[in-house]
Amino acid sequence: MSEPSPPPVTSAPADPTDAVAIPVAIPATAPIGSPTAAPAAATAEAAARTPRVALVTGAARRIGRAIALGLAQAGYDVAVHYGESASEAEQTVADIRALGQRAVALQADLSDPAACEALLECARVALGHVDCLVNSAARFEFDDADGFTPATLERHLGPNLTAPILLAQQLYRACQRDKRPGVVINLLDQKLENLNPDFFSYTLTKAALLGATRMMAMAFAPLLRVNGVSPGATMPSWKQDDTQFAHANRIALLGRSSLPDDIVQAVRYLAEASAVTGVNLIVDGGQHLMALDRDVMFLAPAPNLHPPPKPAA
């Protein structure tokens, strides 16, 4: 049963300096040089003096937390979105501040479109113009084609598809308003290149988000770049324990699939790669090149992971 919907968006208490965007002083005199080079140089100088801000959804735990910390290490101030993991979000914020960057925790129910539309503005009020949006939060529940129900798909649609699109839309409009470029990075899944029927509703929504990533890259260019990162078996998921995860992680051409640091590196690359848009960067040790009939977690010698047998007709 779903938890009652929390208030649309709230922010955790922060130091007053953390909630104020730092003004940028634009030089009154253009740098010496050619007429075409001068505006570009002035823009680059202003950008260098402007704090870079990232909003990472699902940043309280797991891969989202690793991405938030990795972007902070790269010099980004970070808005840490969370759904229900308030204490973990506050720890992520504290760890980012310890790295010398500003951070704020923002709570939002990503199944609520109004909360999604407000989230980016809350990040802007707290930290300034958002330069980078990482859609990391996702729902991951088991179902298959035979057990599919509209209700299961509906639970996945909000956080896995609708929220990333609405947030990207809001960032595009902010970039138009502020006349600044930006980038969206959607967390996808290597299984989109090697489909199997497990986690049916989850996979459907991720496949749709891959399509949306490419279409938004076309629609929002040249101001906003939109890319995807497809991890492999990166952390224990669903009912896996550490031993079962280690077995699944080894099922890859390189002898291991991705780890959180690999995903952080990919996100940081795409955040800075100004000529890259509409790309799905697969980071999985070659797992997507192996023809697998089941999700990789079910190939481990772990009977407890397998769905219960279906009742006789």
Residue 164, in any domain of the structure = yes
Q: 179 lies in a domain?
A: yes
**For 193-206, what is the mean pLDDT?**
95
Per-residue HEC secondary structure of 207-276 comes to HHHHHHHHHHHHHHCCCEEEEEEEECCCCCCCCCCHHHHHHHHCCCCCCCCCCHHHHHHHHHHHHHCCCC
Other beta carbons within 10 angstroms of residue 197's beta carbon come to: 14
The 10s digit of each residue's pLDDT in 27-48 is: 222 333 333 334 444 444 444 5
Q: Is residue 199 part of a domain?
A: yes
Domain assignment present for residue 30? The answer is no
Q: Is 36 left (phi over 0), alpha (psi -120 to 50) or beta?
A: alpha
Mean pLDDT of the chain: 84
CATH assignment of the domain containing 268:
3.40.50.720
Query: In the predicted model, is pLDDT for residue 58 greater than 70?
Result: yes
Question: Which one of 76, 82, 172, 202 is the catalytic residue?
Answer: 202
Percent of the chain with pLDDT strictly greater than 90: 69
Q: Is the pLDDT of residue 20 over 60?
A: no
Q: Closest Cα partner for 186 from 139, 220, 235, 227?
A: 227
pTM to 2 decimal places: 0.81
Residue at 19 is within a domain: no
Is 172 catalytic? The answer is no
Whether the per-residue pLDDT at 18 is higher than 60: the answer is no
CA distance 78 to 3: 27
Reduced to 3 states (helix: H, G, I; strand: E, B; else coil), residue 9 is strand
What's phi and psi for 81, nearest 5 deg?
A: -80, 145
Q: Using the 8-state DSSP alphabet, how is residue 141 labeled? A: -
Is residue 5 assigned to a domain? no
Query: What is the DSSP secondary structure assignment for residue 313, as one 8-state letter?
Result: -
> Which structure tokens are listed for 12?
């955790």
Q: Let me know if residue 177 belongs to a domain.
A: yes
Number of domains the chain is built from: 1
Classify residue 25: in a domain, yes or no.
no
* Confidence bin at 236 (pLDDT 50/70/90): confident
* 61 has a pLDDT exceeding 70: yes
The residue segments making up the domain with residue 208 are 48-305
DSSP H or E run through 3: none
pLDDT in tens, 79-133: 999 999 999 999 999 999 999 999 999 999 999 999 999 999 999 999 999 999 9
Residues whose CB is less than 8 angstroms from the CB of residue 268 and which lie 6 or more positions away in sequence, other chains included: 70, 71, 74
